[in-house]
Amino acid sequence: MKKLGFGLLRLPKLAGSSHIDLEASIPMIDLAISHGVTYFDTAYTYNEGTNEFIFRDAIAKRYSRDAYTITDKMPMMNIEREEQLEPILQEQLVKCGVDFFDYYWLHAIGGPNYERAVKSRAFEHLVTIKKRGIAKHIGMSYHGTPELLDKVLSEHPEIEFVQIQLNYLDWLDKTVQSKACHDVCVKHNKPIIVMEPVKGGTLATVPPEVEAKMRAMDPNMSPASWAIRFAASQEGVMTVLSGMTTLAQVEDNLSFMDEFVPLTEEEQATLLECAEIIRGIVAVPCTGCRYCVDDCPMNICIPDYFSVYNTIKRFEGMYRADVVNYYNNLKFAHGKPTDCIRCGMCESRCPQGLPIRDYLEEAGAFLERA
């Protein structure tokens, strides 16, 4: 298996829609498979519940079963009772067009989702479906503290793999604690699948000072390539998921992951210096996963507003008419940041535990002045 995995969450969308553009996605997937990429990742909740259908139509219907592996996830944020597990699993098999999953995770374990998993006997369900041959390997995706991760892996040694958020910006971050969570996985001898290696695109477009440092190391490497190689270079990492949106991104990723070369210690140290610079500029450390959007009673497109806010702050002092116009268009189709009623639903869904309500208030006040 190559170290590059294909995350299907961020495939290109149809114009003016939240639905994935299948026609535009297929050439991207075909190119990846032609270069030996076999690991594809989807989930029950992605793209308003339609992502699994995209996997079916783009991959399962068009390739033999031995040409790919598929990872899907039980949506623990939606689970309250054990009786919900089997029907959702069967629904996922149908939506993906497969008879079994190569990898099957409990989704977003951490905090209340771990409590839901214990209460609903989800860990026992994983073991059962592995015995039945419906899942070849079982694991979990994790957002939470290293202390809880150590507790989960100690109590549930049946977990074979752990998917964690890992990138050079979050490596030493006091909230995400990527390195500490990574070290717990290594301690328990659990292979690691990396999500958010480019932190929702934040590390694909970096400040000029950071880009200059990267160019000095290698003028031919893109900012995204440094981020992905950092993640792939860490001990115990089996696969790095890249959520690609364009064919050019697929081509770029393949250019350095076809024949992966780990970073040197000096290169890793330089990237951690870059992280300090970026951390001082990024206003909201949002990855754009969109988990916060579905249940918002005011229909506020939270990640989009944060993206606009981050962009304007990054280029502060330069008027960006394109970004300001984008913000104004968002306000016509969605609730404004200032419409937030502070219900907290978004924060209960955020895998990073961000204080979204406070960030929305801050972003809304700033953007209305932009």
In this prediction, residues 319-328 reach a mean pLDDT of 67
* Residue 322 confidence class, pLDDT cut points 50, 70, 90: low
- Number of Cβ atoms within 10 Å of the Cβ of 34: 9
106: helix, coil or strand? Answer: strand
Q: How many residues does the chain have?
A: 370
Neighbours of 115 (CB within 10 A): 11
Distance CA 120, CA 131 (A): 19
Instruction: Give one DSSP letter per residue of 109-146, joined into a string.
Output: ESTHHHHHHHHTTHHHHHHHHHHTTSEEEEEEEE-S-H
pLDDT category of residue 337 using cuts at 50, 70 and 90? very high
**CA angle, corner 220, sides to 266 and 243, nearest 5?**
85
Give me the mean pLDDT over the 349-358 stretch: 89
**What is the pLDDT, as a whole number, of residue 310?**
84
Give the whole-number percent of the chain exceeding pLDDT 70. Answer: 97
Q: Around Cβ 158, how many Cβ atoms within 10 Å?
A: 13
- Express each pLDDT in 47-76 by its tens digit: 989 999 999 999 999 999 999 999 999 999
Residue 266 contacts by C-beta under 8 Å, 6 or more apart in sequence? none
Using the structure block, give the residue that is written with the tokens 């806010």: 309
Please give the mean pLDDT across all residues of the chain: 93
Q: How confident is the model at residue 173 (pLDDT cuts 50, 70, 90)?
A: confident
How much of the chain exceeds pLDDT 90, in percent? 76
d(CA 59, CA 70): 10
Q: Please say whether the beta carbons of 199 and 169 come within 8 A.
A: yes
For residue 1, which of 46, 42, 44, 32 has the smallest C-alpha distance? Answer: 32
Inter-helix orientation angle 22-34/247-257, to 10°: 10
Q: Is residue 316 pLDDT above 70, yes or no?
A: no
Q: What is the pTM of this model?
A: 0.86
User: Residue 351 carries which side chain, given as an amino acid letter?
Assistant: P
Say which residues have a Cβ less than 8 Å from residue 118's Cβ, sequence separation at least 6: none
Rounded Cα distance between 230 and 224, Å, is 10
Which pLDDT value is given to residue 192? 98
Q: Which residue has the tokens 């892996």?
A: 153
Q: Is the pLDDT of residue 4 over 60?
A: yes
Q: What is the pLDDT of residue 267?
A: 98
Q: According to the model, what pLDDT value does residue 315 have? A: 64
* Measured distance CA(72)–CA(42) in Å, rounded: 5
Q: Give, rounded to a whole angstrom, the gap between the first and last alpha carbons of the chain.
A: 47
DSSP code at position 264: P
For residue 274, pLDDT beyond 70: yes
CA distance 106 to 144: 14
Neighbour tally for 189: CB within 10 Å: 9
Q: pLDDT-based confidence at 313, cuts 50/70/90?
A: confident
Please give the pLDDT value at position 160. Answer: 98
Judged against a pLDDT cut of 70, whether residue 319 lies above it is answered with no
Q: What is the pLDDT of residues 198-220, one digit of tens each?
A: 998 889 989 889 999 999 999 99
pLDDT given at position 204: 92
Per-residue pLDDT of 278-302, as tens digits, reads 888 888 989 888 889 988 999 999 9
Residue 322: both structure tokens together: 């394109």
Helix axes 122-131, 112-119, angle to 10 degrees: 60
Domain 4-279, CATH homologous superfamily name and number: NADP-dependent oxidoreductase domain (3.20.20.100)
